[in-house]
Structure 1
Amino acid sequence: MEVVVLIGRILFAILFVGSGVNHLMQVNGMAGYAQSRGVPLPKVAVVVSGIVIIIGGLSVLLGIWADLGALLLLIHVVLSAALMHTFWKETDEQARQGEMTHFMKNVGLAGAALMLFAFFAYVDDLGLTVTGPLFSLS
């Protein structure tokens, strides 16, 4: 069981750590997109979101307060869905479909992050983690 959970954590975290690194390596391009979506202080938002998702991803990956890491990722994907993927505002059908796909992906990732938070905060012996949970739901 411990190895299966570890593999799941690795697969989940790869997406976020890679995305966070991309945020920091492509700040100007991503800030331009964020600005086009109406995000205030887009360059700062890109850098902060990149740092948050790297920290959250590494937290889940390494099992260092993984419950807190899952919460950080939950917050990120919910904000990203609500601010960046507003498909309901799109007039072009192709753009609407693309943004809806990204929105729904983020909703699904939010659900997975919420389940991970609950899992880490509830289960006493996770094994293969550096620390225990910061929060307790038991």
Structure 2
Amino acid sequence: MDVVVLIGRILFVVLFLSSGIGHLTQADGMAGYAQSKGVPMPKLAVQVSGVVLVLGALMVLFGVWADLGALLLVVFLLPTAFLMHAFWKEADAMAKQNEMIQFNKDVSLAGAALALFAFFAHTAELGLTVTGPLFSLG
């Protein structure tokens, strides 16, 4: 079971690590996109979100307070869904569809991250982690 959970954690964080690294290495380009979506202080927002993504992903990956890492990913995903992928504001049908897909992806991943939070905070035997959970739900 421990290996299955580890493989699941690895697969789950691939998207967040690559996205977070992109936020940090391509901050100027991403800031322009964030600015076009009305995000205040877009470059700082991109950099902070990059740090949150990388930190949360690494915490889940290595099992260092993985419950907190999962919550950090939720803190990124939900605001991003509403700020960056507001499909209801789009007039063009193709743009609306694309934003709806991205919105639903972010909301779904936030749900998965919340489920991981509950798993890490509730399960006594996590196995293959560096630390135990920071929070206790059980």
1:30 aligns with 2:30: yes
2:121 corresponds in structure 1 to 121
CA distance in 2, matches of 1:57, 1:69: 6
| Structure 2 residue 87 is the aligned partner of structure 1 residue 87 | yes
Structure-2 separation of matches of 1:69 and 1:11: 15
- The ranges of structure 1 where at least 4 consecutive aligned residues each deviate by more than 4 angstroms after the TM superposition are none
* Alpha-carbon distance in 2 for matches of 1:45, 1:117: 24
In structure 1, what is the equivalent of residue 49 of structure 2?
49
1:26 and 1:97 map into 2 onto residues whose CA distance is 26
Structure 1 residue 112: Cα displacement: 0.3
Distance, in Å, in 1 between the alignment partners of 2:59 and 2:15 is 13
TM-score if structure 1 supplies the norm length?
A: 0.99
Cα offset, 1:75, TM superposition: 1.0
**In 1, distance between residues paired with 2:28 and 2:93?**
27
Offset of 1:95 from its aligned partner?
0.4
| Secondary structure of 2:10's aligned partner | helix
Q: Aligned residues, how many?
A: 138
Report the TM-score when normalising by structure 2. Answer: 0.99
**Residue 9 of structure 1, CA deviation:** 0.2
Q: Does 1:101 align with 2:83?
A: no
- For the residue of structure 1 that corresponds to 2:135, the secondary structure is coil
Q: Structure 1, residues 56-90: CA drift from partner, whole Å, max 9, x if none?
A: 00000000000000000011000100110000000
Q: Is 1:5 aligned to 2:5, yes or no? A: yes
CA distance in 1, matches of 2:41, 2:15: 25
Q: Could you tell me how far 1:129 is from its partner in structure 2?
A: 0.1
- Identity between Structure 1 and Structure 2 (%): 66
Structure 1 portions without partners, runs of 5+ = none
Q: What is aligned with 1:72?
A: 72
Query: Structure 2 unaligned runs (5+)?
Result: none
Amino acid of the structure 2 residue aligned with 1:42: P
